[in-house]
Protein backbone atom coordinates (compact mmCIF):
# COMPACT_ATOMS: atom_id res chain seq x y z
CA UNK A 1 0.00 0.00 0.00
CA UNK A 2 1.24 3.49 -0.85
CA UNK A 3 2.23 5.46 2.23
CA UNK A 4 0.03 8.29 0.92
CA UNK A 5 -3.07 6.13 1.48
CA UNK A 6 -2.25 5.24 5.08
CA UNK A 7 -0.57 8.38 6.44
CA UNK A 8 -1.36 12.09 6.32
CA UNK A 9 -0.11 13.88 3.22
CA UNK A 10 2.35 16.56 4.34
CA UNK A 11 2.37 19.57 2.01
CA UNK A 12 4.03 22.95 1.67
CA UNK A 13 3.14 26.08 -0.28
CA UNK A 14 5.63 28.46 -1.89
CA UNK A 15 4.14 31.91 -2.48
CA UNK A 16 1.35 33.68 -0.58
CA UNK A 17 -0.20 35.97 -3.17
CA UNK A 18 -3.83 35.44 -4.19
CA UNK A 19 -3.12 32.07 -5.82
CA UNK A 20 -0.97 30.80 -2.96
CA UNK A 21 -3.69 31.66 -0.48
CA UNK A 22 -6.18 29.64 -2.55
CA UNK A 23 -3.89 26.61 -2.27
CA UNK A 24 -3.44 27.11 1.48
CA UNK A 25 -7.19 27.35 2.07
CA UNK A 26 -7.88 24.30 -0.11
CA UNK A 27 -5.33 22.11 1.67
CA UNK A 28 -6.68 23.12 5.08
CA UNK A 29 -10.16 22.02 3.98
CA UNK A 30 -9.04 18.44 3.28
CA UNK A 31 -8.98 15.55 5.72
CA UNK A 32 -5.74 13.62 5.86
CA UNK A 33 -3.68 16.55 4.58
CA UNK A 34 -1.32 18.51 6.80
CA UNK A 35 -0.11 21.96 5.74
CA UNK A 36 3.31 21.87 7.38
CA UNK A 37 5.23 24.67 5.70
CA UNK A 38 4.85 27.94 3.80
CA UNK A 39 7.62 29.96 2.17
CA UNK A 40 7.37 33.61 1.10
CA UNK A 41 9.26 36.89 1.19
CA UNK A 42 6.41 38.99 2.63
CA UNK A 43 7.31 38.83 6.34
CA UNK A 44 4.18 40.41 7.83
CA UNK A 45 1.76 38.41 5.69
CA UNK A 46 3.74 35.24 6.32
CA UNK A 47 3.42 35.73 10.08
CA UNK A 48 -0.31 36.34 9.67
CA UNK A 49 -0.79 33.15 7.66
CA UNK A 50 1.33 31.16 10.11
CA UNK A 51 -0.99 32.24 12.94
CA UNK A 52 -4.28 31.95 11.03
CA UNK A 53 -3.63 28.47 9.66
CA UNK A 54 -1.38 27.14 12.46
CA UNK A 55 1.48 26.42 10.06
CA UNK A 56 4.36 24.72 11.92
CA UNK A 57 7.16 25.94 9.65
CA UNK A 58 7.62 29.16 7.70
CA UNK A 59 10.59 30.14 5.56
CA UNK A 60 11.79 33.16 3.64
CA UNK A 61 13.56 30.92 1.13
CA UNK A 62 11.84 28.22 -0.93
CA UNK A 63 15.10 26.27 -0.95
CA UNK A 64 14.71 25.73 2.81
CA UNK A 65 11.10 24.60 2.47
CA UNK A 66 11.79 21.79 0.01
CA UNK A 67 14.56 20.46 2.27
CA UNK A 68 12.11 19.97 5.14
CA UNK A 69 12.15 16.36 6.34
CA UNK A 70 8.93 14.43 5.85
CA UNK A 71 7.48 16.72 3.19
CA UNK A 72 5.50 14.90 0.49
CA UNK A 73 4.27 17.59 -1.89
CA UNK A 74 4.52 21.29 -2.64
CA UNK A 75 2.42 23.93 -4.36
CA UNK A 76 4.31 26.49 -6.43
CA UNK A 77 2.40 29.78 -6.55
CA UNK A 78 5.03 32.37 -7.44
CA UNK A 79 5.93 34.54 -10.47
CA UNK A 80 6.26 32.51 -13.66
CA UNK A 81 10.06 32.73 -13.96
CA UNK A 82 10.37 30.77 -10.72
CA UNK A 83 8.07 27.90 -11.69
CA UNK A 84 10.74 25.80 -13.40
CA UNK A 85 13.60 26.16 -10.90
CA UNK A 86 11.38 25.48 -7.87
CA UNK A 87 9.39 22.65 -9.46
CA UNK A 88 12.49 20.89 -10.82
CA UNK A 89 14.32 21.17 -7.50
CA UNK A 90 11.28 19.84 -5.64
CA UNK A 91 10.83 16.94 -8.06
CA UNK A 92 14.50 16.03 -7.77
CA UNK A 93 13.98 16.04 -4.01
CA UNK A 94 11.24 13.43 -4.52
CA UNK A 95 8.30 15.76 -3.94
CA UNK A 96 5.07 15.90 -5.90
CA UNK A 97 4.38 19.35 -7.40
CA UNK A 98 1.27 21.39 -8.10
CA UNK A 99 2.25 24.51 -10.05
CA UNK A 100 0.25 27.58 -10.87
CA UNK A 101 -0.31 28.37 -14.54
CA UNK A 102 1.25 28.86 -16.98
CA UNK A 103 3.51 25.82 -16.68
CA UNK A 104 6.59 27.95 -17.39
CA UNK A 105 7.79 30.98 -19.36
CA UNK A 106 8.06 28.85 -22.49
CA UNK A 107 7.90 25.34 -23.81
CA UNK A 108 11.62 24.69 -23.32
CA UNK A 109 11.36 25.31 -19.59
CA UNK A 110 8.09 23.40 -19.48
CA UNK A 111 9.71 20.38 -21.11
CA UNK A 112 12.46 20.44 -18.49
CA UNK A 113 9.78 20.31 -15.79
CA UNK A 114 7.96 17.42 -17.46
CA UNK A 115 11.20 15.49 -17.91
CA UNK A 116 12.06 16.06 -14.24
CA UNK A 117 8.64 14.69 -13.21
CA UNK A 118 9.10 11.61 -15.40
CA UNK A 119 12.63 10.99 -14.14
CA UNK A 120 11.56 11.36 -10.52
CA UNK A 121 8.39 9.32 -11.00
CA UNK A 122 6.36 12.04 -9.30
CA UNK A 123 3.20 14.02 -10.00
CA UNK A 124 3.43 17.38 -11.78
CA UNK A 125 0.02 19.04 -12.08
CA UNK A 126 -0.84 22.59 -13.16
CA UNK A 127 -3.68 24.67 -11.71
CA UNK A 128 -6.10 25.26 -14.56
CA UNK A 129 -8.94 26.23 -12.27
CA UNK A 130 -11.28 27.73 -14.87
CA UNK A 131 -11.96 24.39 -16.55
CA UNK A 132 -13.49 23.48 -13.15
CA UNK A 133 -16.17 26.18 -13.52
CA UNK A 134 -19.65 24.67 -13.23
CA UNK A 135 -20.81 26.24 -16.49
CA UNK A 136 -17.82 24.88 -18.41
CA UNK A 137 -18.29 21.44 -16.88
CA UNK A 138 -21.98 21.48 -17.83
CA UNK A 139 -21.19 22.49 -21.40
CA UNK A 140 -18.47 19.82 -21.56
CA UNK A 141 -21.06 17.18 -20.74
CA UNK A 142 -23.42 18.47 -23.45
CA UNK A 143 -20.67 18.42 -26.10
CA UNK A 144 -19.41 14.98 -25.03
CA UNK A 145 -22.95 13.61 -25.19
CA UNK A 146 -23.09 14.58 -28.88
CA UNK A 147 -25.88 17.13 -28.40
CA UNK A 148 -24.14 19.57 -30.76
CA UNK A 149 -22.87 16.98 -33.21
CA UNK A 150 -19.30 17.53 -34.36
CA UNK A 151 -17.91 20.92 -33.24
CA UNK A 152 -16.14 22.61 -36.15
CA UNK A 153 -15.70 26.24 -35.08
CA UNK A 154 -15.17 27.84 -31.70
CA UNK A 155 -14.19 31.24 -30.41
CA UNK A 156 -13.14 32.02 -26.87
CA UNK A 157 -11.84 35.05 -25.04
CA UNK A 158 -10.98 36.72 -21.78
CA UNK A 159 -11.09 40.48 -22.17
CA UNK A 160 -10.62 43.36 -19.74
CA UNK A 161 -11.03 47.11 -20.06
CA UNK A 162 -8.44 48.20 -17.48
CA UNK A 163 -6.94 44.99 -16.23
CA UNK A 164 -3.16 45.08 -16.49
CA UNK A 165 -2.07 43.25 -13.31
CA UNK A 166 0.35 45.24 -11.22
CA UNK A 167 1.32 47.77 -13.86
CA UNK A 168 5.10 48.10 -13.76
CA UNK A 169 5.72 44.79 -11.97
CA UNK A 170 7.16 41.45 -13.10
CA UNK A 171 3.92 40.82 -15.02
CA UNK A 172 5.02 43.33 -17.66
CA UNK A 173 8.58 42.00 -18.05
CA UNK A 174 8.77 39.22 -20.69
CA UNK A 175 11.93 37.77 -19.16
CA UNK A 176 10.03 37.19 -15.92
CA UNK A 177 6.47 36.53 -17.09
CA UNK A 178 7.04 34.94 -20.49
CA UNK A 179 4.43 37.20 -22.06
CA UNK A 180 1.43 39.43 -21.42
CA UNK A 181 -2.27 38.54 -21.33
CA UNK A 182 -1.83 35.65 -23.75
CA UNK A 183 0.43 33.92 -21.20
CA UNK A 184 -1.46 35.16 -18.14
CA UNK A 185 -5.18 34.76 -18.85
CA UNK A 186 -5.06 33.50 -22.44
CA UNK A 187 -3.59 30.21 -21.26
CA UNK A 188 -6.78 29.66 -19.25
CA UNK A 189 -8.86 30.34 -22.37
CA UNK A 190 -6.74 28.00 -24.46
CA UNK A 191 -7.01 25.32 -21.79
CA UNK A 192 -10.77 25.37 -21.31
CA UNK A 193 -11.42 25.72 -25.05
CA UNK A 194 -9.32 22.68 -25.99
CA UNK A 195 -10.79 20.82 -23.01
CA UNK A 196 -14.33 21.54 -24.21
CA UNK A 197 -13.47 20.50 -27.77
CA UNK A 198 -12.08 17.13 -26.67
CA UNK A 199 -8.34 17.92 -26.78
CA UNK A 200 -7.85 18.11 -30.56
CA UNK A 201 -4.23 18.49 -31.63
CA UNK A 202 -3.24 22.00 -32.69
CA UNK A 203 -1.91 21.97 -36.26
CA UNK A 204 -0.93 25.61 -36.71
CA UNK A 205 -1.46 29.13 -35.37
CA UNK A 206 -1.56 32.59 -36.87
CA UNK A 207 -1.43 35.22 -34.16
CA UNK A 208 -1.13 38.95 -33.62
CA UNK A 209 -0.12 40.86 -30.52
CA UNK A 210 -0.60 44.55 -29.75
CA UNK A 211 0.90 46.82 -27.13
CA UNK A 212 -0.96 50.11 -27.33
CA UNK A 213 -2.15 51.15 -23.86
CA UNK A 214 0.29 49.61 -21.39
CA UNK A 215 3.40 51.44 -22.65
CA UNK A 216 1.53 54.73 -22.14
CA UNK A 217 0.75 53.91 -18.51
CA UNK A 218 -2.87 53.16 -19.38
CA UNK A 219 -4.95 50.06 -18.79
CA UNK A 220 -4.40 49.52 -15.08
CA UNK A 221 -6.60 50.43 -12.13
CA UNK A 222 -6.71 50.05 -8.38
CA UNK A 223 -8.21 46.57 -8.64
CA UNK A 224 -5.26 45.18 -10.55
CA UNK A 225 -2.40 47.58 -9.77
CA UNK A 226 -0.93 46.42 -6.48
CA UNK A 227 2.56 47.85 -6.70
CA UNK A 228 4.89 49.97 -8.74
CA UNK A 229 8.41 49.05 -9.76
CA UNK A 230 11.07 49.90 -12.29
CA UNK A 231 9.91 47.34 -14.89
CA UNK A 232 8.97 48.82 -18.23
CA UNK A 233 5.90 47.61 -20.10
CA UNK A 234 7.50 45.23 -22.60
CA UNK A 235 4.74 42.69 -23.26
CA UNK A 236 1.52 42.78 -25.28
CA UNK A 237 -1.69 44.14 -23.80
CA UNK A 238 -3.92 42.38 -26.37
CA UNK A 239 -3.50 39.21 -28.43
CA UNK A 240 -5.53 37.19 -30.88
CA UNK A 241 -4.90 33.84 -32.55
CA UNK A 242 -6.43 31.81 -35.36
CA UNK A 243 -5.79 28.19 -34.44
CA UNK A 244 -6.20 25.28 -36.87
CA UNK A 245 -7.13 21.99 -35.22
CA UNK A 246 -6.66 18.41 -36.31
CA UNK A 247 -9.75 17.20 -38.13
CA UNK A 248 -10.43 20.57 -39.75
CA UNK A 249 -11.75 22.46 -36.74
CA UNK A 250 -10.98 26.09 -35.95
CA UNK A 251 -10.47 27.96 -32.68
CA UNK A 252 -10.27 31.76 -32.55
CA UNK A 253 -8.81 33.04 -29.29
CA UNK A 254 -8.55 36.53 -27.80
CA UNK A 255 -6.86 37.65 -24.60
CA UNK A 256 -6.68 41.25 -23.51
CA UNK A 257 -5.67 43.10 -20.37
CA UNK A 258 -6.62 46.48 -21.72
CA UNK A 259 -8.79 47.76 -24.57
CA UNK A 260 -11.48 50.36 -25.12
CA UNK A 261 -14.43 48.02 -24.61
CA UNK A 262 -17.18 47.39 -22.09
CA UNK A 263 -16.21 48.10 -18.49
CA UNK A 264 -17.05 44.58 -17.28
CA UNK A 265 -14.53 41.80 -17.91
CA UNK A 266 -15.72 39.06 -20.25
CA UNK A 267 -14.81 35.40 -20.32
CA UNK A 268 -16.68 33.47 -23.00
CA UNK A 269 -16.89 30.47 -25.30
CA UNK A 270 -18.99 30.01 -28.42
CA UNK A 271 -19.09 26.80 -30.47
CA UNK A 272 -20.80 25.82 -33.69
CA UNK A 273 -21.43 22.13 -34.31
CA UNK A 274 -23.08 20.10 -37.06
CA UNK A 275 -26.21 19.55 -34.94
CA UNK A 276 -26.27 22.60 -32.68
CA UNK A 277 -24.38 25.44 -31.13
CA UNK A 278 -23.71 26.88 -27.69
CA UNK A 279 -22.70 30.14 -26.06
CA UNK A 280 -21.31 30.82 -22.61
CA UNK A 281 -20.78 34.45 -21.56
CA UNK A 282 -19.47 35.20 -18.08
CA UNK A 283 -19.80 38.98 -17.90
CA UNK A 284 -17.65 39.90 -14.95
CA UNK A 285 -15.29 37.01 -15.75
CA UNK A 286 -13.70 35.35 -12.72
CA UNK A 287 -15.80 37.42 -10.29
CA UNK A 288 -18.89 35.68 -11.67
CA UNK A 289 -18.66 32.07 -10.46
CA UNK A 290 -21.18 30.72 -12.96
CA UNK A 291 -23.05 31.83 -16.07
CA UNK A 292 -25.99 30.37 -17.97
CA UNK A 293 -25.20 28.39 -21.10
CA UNK A 294 -27.36 28.96 -24.16
CA UNK A 295 -27.89 25.98 -26.46
CA UNK A 296 -29.03 26.51 -30.05
CA UNK A 297 -30.91 23.61 -31.65
CA UNK A 298 -33.52 22.92 -34.31
CA UNK A 299 -36.43 20.47 -34.16
CA UNK A 300 -38.92 19.79 -36.93
CA UNK A 301 -37.70 22.84 -38.82
CA UNK A 302 -38.22 25.20 -35.87
CA UNK A 303 -35.75 26.76 -33.46
CA UNK A 304 -35.54 24.72 -30.28
CA UNK A 305 -33.08 26.80 -28.27
CA UNK A 306 -32.83 26.42 -24.50
CA UNK A 307 -30.83 27.63 -21.54
CA UNK A 308 -28.82 25.41 -19.21
CA UNK A 309 -28.43 26.60 -15.63
CA UNK A 310 -25.26 25.34 -13.97
CA UNK A 311 -24.08 25.27 -10.39
CA UNK A 312 -20.90 27.18 -9.50
CA UNK A 313 -17.69 25.19 -9.76
CA UNK A 314 -15.15 24.74 -6.98
CA UNK A 315 -12.12 26.36 -8.62
CA UNK A 316 -8.84 25.88 -6.72
CA UNK A 317 -10.48 23.59 -4.20
CA UNK A 318 -11.18 21.13 -7.02
CA UNK A 319 -7.68 21.60 -8.45
CA UNK A 320 -6.05 20.79 -5.11
CA UNK A 321 -8.38 17.84 -4.49
CA UNK A 322 -7.52 16.39 -7.90
CA UNK A 323 -3.82 16.80 -7.15
CA UNK A 324 -4.12 15.12 -3.76
CA UNK A 325 -6.15 12.28 -5.30
CA UNK A 326 -3.47 11.76 -7.95
CA UNK A 327 -0.71 11.64 -5.32
CA UNK A 328 -2.68 9.19 -3.21
CA UNK A 329 -3.33 7.07 -6.30
CA UNK A 330 0.19 5.71 -6.19
CA UNK A 331 2.71 4.94 -8.89
CA UNK A 332 0.17 3.44 -11.28
CA UNK A 333 -1.49 6.86 -11.48
CA UNK A 334 1.49 9.22 -11.30
CA UNK A 335 2.62 8.65 -14.88
CA UNK A 336 -0.61 10.17 -16.19
CA UNK A 337 0.11 13.35 -14.22
CA UNK A 338 3.50 14.42 -15.59
CA UNK A 339 2.57 17.94 -16.74
CA UNK A 340 2.41 16.96 -20.41
CA UNK A 341 -1.03 18.48 -20.98
CA UNK A 342 0.15 21.83 -19.61
CA UNK A 343 3.20 21.49 -21.86
CA UNK A 344 0.94 21.32 -24.92
CA UNK A 345 -0.51 24.68 -23.85
CA UNK A 346 2.97 26.16 -23.46
CA UNK A 347 4.01 25.00 -26.92
CA UNK A 348 0.91 26.57 -28.49
CA UNK A 349 1.68 29.87 -26.74
CA UNK A 350 5.27 29.68 -28.02
CA UNK A 351 3.94 29.25 -31.56
CA UNK A 352 1.55 32.19 -31.10
CA UNK A 353 4.33 34.51 -29.98
CA UNK A 354 6.56 33.33 -32.82
CA UNK A 355 3.75 33.87 -35.31
CA UNK A 356 3.09 37.38 -34.04
CA UNK A 357 6.79 38.27 -34.13
CA UNK A 358 7.39 36.89 -37.62
CA UNK A 359 3.94 37.81 -38.97
CA UNK A 360 3.29 34.36 -40.43
CA UNK A 361 1.51 31.13 -39.72
CA UNK A 362 3.49 28.71 -37.53
CA UNK A 363 2.95 24.96 -37.67
CA UNK A 364 3.37 22.82 -34.60
Domains of the chain by residue range: 3-129+316-336, 134-312
pLDDT tens by residue, 208-266:
999 999 999 899 876 654 445 567 899 999 999 999 999 999 999 999 999 999 999 99
Q: Which residues of the chain have pLDDT under 70?
A: 1-5, 222-230
pLDDT value for 169:
84
Q: Please check whether residue 308 is in contact with residue 139, taking contact to mean a CB–CB distance below 8 angstroms.
A: yes
Q: Please check whether residue 209 is in contact with residue 238, taking contact to mean a CB–CB distance below 8 angstroms.
A: yes
Q: What's CA 247's distance to the chain center, in Å? A: 26
pLDDT value for 227:
46
Identify the CATH number of the domain defined by range 3-129+316-336.
Answer: 3.40.50.720
pLDDT value for 230:
60
What residue spans of 104-185 are helical by DSSP H?
Answer: 107-120, 134-144, 174-177, 181-184
pTM for this model (two decimals): 0.95
CA distances from 127 to 120, 134, 285, 296, 320 (A): 20, 16, 17, 31, 8
Interior angle at CA 361, CA 359 and CA 362, nearest 5:
110
CA distances from 149 to 202, 214, 276 (A): 20, 42, 7
pLDDT value for 224:
53
pLDDT value for 222:
60
Select from 3.40.30.10, 3.30.360.10, 3.30.479.30, 3.30.420.40 the CATH code of 134-312. 3.30.360.10
pLDDT tens by residue, 322-336:
999 999 999 999 999
88-89-90-96 Cα dihedral, nearest 10 degrees: 20
SS3 71: coil
The side-by-side arrangement of strands in the sheet containing 277-283 is 306-308, 293-296, 277-283, 266-273, 151-159, 250-256, 238-245, 202-210, 362-363
Amino acid sequence: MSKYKSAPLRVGVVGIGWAGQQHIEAYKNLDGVELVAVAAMEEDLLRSIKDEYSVPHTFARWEDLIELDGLDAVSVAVPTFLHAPIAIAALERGLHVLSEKPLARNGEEGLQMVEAARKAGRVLDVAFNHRRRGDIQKLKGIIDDGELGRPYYAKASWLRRQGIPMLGSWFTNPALAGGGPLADIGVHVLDYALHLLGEPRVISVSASTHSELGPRGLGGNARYTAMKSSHKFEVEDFASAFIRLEGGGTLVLEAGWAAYRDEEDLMDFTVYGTDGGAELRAVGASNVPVADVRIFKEKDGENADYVVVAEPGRAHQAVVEDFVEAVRGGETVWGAHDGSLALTRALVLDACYQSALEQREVRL
